[in-house]
Amino acid sequence: MLSKAISRNTGPGRPADMPERRREARAAYFFLLPALIVLSLFAFSPLVFIFVVAFFDWNLFRADLHWVEAANFVELAGDERFLTALRNTTVYVLGVVPAQTLLALLLALAVSWNIPARGFFRAAFYIPAITSSVVTSIIFLWIYSKPGLLNYVLFRFGIEGPDWIGSPKYALGAIMAVNVWSTSGYFMVAFLAGLRNIPASLYEAARIDGAGPWARFQYVTVPGLKPTLFFVVTLGIIGTFQVFDQIYMMSAGGPVNATTTLSYFVYNSAFRYFRFGYAAAAVVLFAIILFVTRVQRRIIRPEAP
Amino acid sequence: MMKISVVRRRVARSGILALLLVAAAVFTLPFLWSLSVSLQPPGDVFRWPMKLVPDPFTLENYRRLWTEIPFARWLLTSAGVALAVTSANLFFDALAGYAFAHLRFPGRNVLFTLLLATLMVPAHVTLVPKFMLLNALGLVNTYTALVAPAMVQVVGIFLMKQFFESIPRQMEEAAFIDGCNRFQVFWRVVLPTSKPALAALGIYTFQGNWNEFLWPLVVATTSDRFTLPVGLAMFRYEFRVEWTLLMAGAVLIALPTLIIFLVFQRLFIQGIATSGLKE
């Protein structure tokens, strides 16, 4: 360590009296500076500031600003649209995450088989994931309309389909299906990478021990995919919590709030009704609800993660 | 005995192939059909029986995109913003990733945990305060507002850190002895060997920013600052729904990301593999 420090101190432009440790730290902060400035402004301070905004009646376009204590929260608790948004978001996450995870896993397993045109299939499943959500929303808006492609296909099978996005009964499910369709290709690639990380020797050993295909899947593939599964489910939950684009483009939260999710509620409160304090309070209240349910689960079932 | 298992495997293989073909149709037909609608003359796009091949065929919708709506303007904004954001990320994410991978400094682990924690925060949580900040700075509806918040992304820092950790340090040591300072080592020795990771990050960032919707929707308030997705969304809401024109716009927005993907498929997959799974 010492000899290294001495040898480095002989280079030009290096203050010889500064210890190597401190010079390294100074360089590190210099390297981190741009990232820290941007993230402080647009990631860290907003997270703090939102707790302040939540206690104000704050309208940017009328220069008035009142401290309203907990009035925003009290109003939220009685706001039918907020409660609907909470319910819809829960349905959305609990519906889409398992479906897209399972579909992604199945696609990955099928594509990793020794079949012709694997590259083609992999690309075909991945394309929706790299396409703008505005584009896929417009396409599915057309597919889902009353005389659209989906109902035409159903008609050929003798079924008369509804106006999918126009009906409070089907709208949310229809948008959830688009989400599953557009993201499972991305997670398929994650599973493919996970599958490749399982050493072939494990399969060989299992085969020698007389394990059939199903047993090999159960005892080698599934445990080997655990880290990937964690990654996929975590990203899936975060992604579905913030679903906005499809809702905005396809249904605008309707019909009768059937597709109003939390992110859409926040957007509407802030950028349509210009109630920034109210929107911030919705986010804070939601975070509190999430936290409380987690703590509750810990208390009721301490062994649960 | 041998023969039975061979037959069974063949049957299973063709079964899987058939299922994959159906799945591939479900994943790609919506795109082909939208392409078909974009090539139909304006009018009734819901004529049953529906046909995939447009008849009569026309490029009229694509011509109208350039003449009747400010599509060219939106395209320029989108491309400019995405390129600016991508170059900023390549430089800043690499700098920060290098510090985390190869330098020791007080607070390193705390800082890294903090960064990872921001990945768990959904976008709409910071949306309102972010907008208020830009409004206070008088930056709403500027290119700065479209670019600045996206100049650094935690996923990018993480991806570069993972890559730098795999680079042996001997090369850097040699450069130190030749009298380079740390930035010179980073710039002349480390970055040139990181081209695959930089390419993966660049493609990932460009594609993500090209498709970004919520943030430009909020900070771009007049048509001359719209990006393509926002422009198309506004078009859908402000005019009566003209499906053929809308689909032509959709096809043109999807085209660049599709081409980039088909050309650089490998890098996409590599990006996902290194960003999430090896830790």
The yes/no answer to whether this complex scores an ipTM above 0.85 is: yes
Contact between chains at A24 and B130 (C-beta distance less than 8 A): no
Q: What is the pLDDT of residues A102-141, one digit of tens each?
A: 999 999 999 888 788 888 898 999 999 999 999 999 999 9
- A116–chain B Cβ distance below 8 A for any pair: yes
User: In whole angstroms, what is the distance from residue A207 CA to residue B122 CA?
Assistant: 44
Task: Write down the pLDDT at residue A62.
Answer: 67
User: In whole angstroms, what is the distance from residue A176 CA to residue A240 CA?
Assistant: 9
- Please tell me whether residue A64 adopts helix, strand or coil conformation: strand
Radius of gyration of chain A (CA): 26
Question: CA of B262: which chain A residue's CA is closest?
Answer: A123
Contact between chains at A130 and B257 (C-beta distance less than 8 A): yes
Separation in Å, CA of B189 to nearest CA in chain A: 16
Contact between chains at A139 and B257 (C-beta distance less than 8 A): no
Contact between chains at B31 and A44 (C-beta distance less than 8 A): no
Q: What is the pLDDT of residues A256-280, one digit of tens each?
A: 888 999 999 999 999 998 888 889 9
Contact between chains at A238 and B120 (C-beta distance less than 8 A): yes
Residue A58 contacts residue A276 (beta carbons within 8 Å): yes
Separation in Å, CA of A228 to nearest CA in chain B: 6
Mean pLDDT of A280-302: 78
- Please tell me whether residue A76 adopts helix, strand or coil conformation: helix
User: In whole angstroms, what is the distance from residue A111 CA to residue B270 CA?
Assistant: 17
* Relative orientation angle of helices A171-196 and A118-130, to the nearest 10 degrees: 130
Does residue A215 carry a pLDDT above 80? Answer: yes
Contact between chains at A42 and B93 (C-beta distance less than 8 A): no
- B273–chain A Cβ distance below 8 A for any pair: yes
Per CB-CB distance under 8 Å, the chain A contacts of B13 are: 113-115
A59 strand-pairing partners: A64
Q: What is the pLDDT of residues A63-92, one digit of tens each?
A: 667 777 778 888 888 888 999 999 999 999
CB atoms within 10 A of CB A230: 12
Does residue A1 carry a pLDDT above 60? Answer: no
Task: List domains and CATH numbers for chain A.
Answer: 2-53 (no CATH), 74-300 (1.10.3720.10)
Task: Write down the pLDDT at residue B278.
Answer: 38
Highest mean pLDDT among A117-121, B79-83, B194-198: B79-83
User: In whole angstroms, what is the distance from residue B131 CA to residue A160 CA?
Assistant: 46
Does residue A292 carry a pLDDT above 90? Answer: no
Going by CATH, does the domain composed of B69-276 fall within 3.20.20.10?
no
Q: Which of B128, B133, B241, B251 to mutate to test binding with chain A, by most A CBs within 10 Å of its CB?
A: B128
Contact between chains at A143 and B258 (C-beta distance less than 8 A): no
Contact between chains at B122 and A242 (C-beta distance less than 8 A): yes
Residue B262 contacts residue A127 (beta carbons within 8 Å): no
Cα angle value B239/B244/B248 (rounded, 5°): 100
Cα angle value B15/B19/B23 (rounded, 5°): 165
Does residue B2 carry a pLDDT above 70? Answer: no
Residue ranges per domain, chain B?
A: 2-60, 69-276
Q: What is the pLDDT of residues B240-265, one digit of tens each?
A: 678 888 999 999 999 999 999 888 88
More confident residue, A136 or A238: A136
Indicate the residue of A13, A27, A135 with minimum beta-carbon distance to B253: A135
Does residue B137 carry a pLDDT above 50? Answer: yes
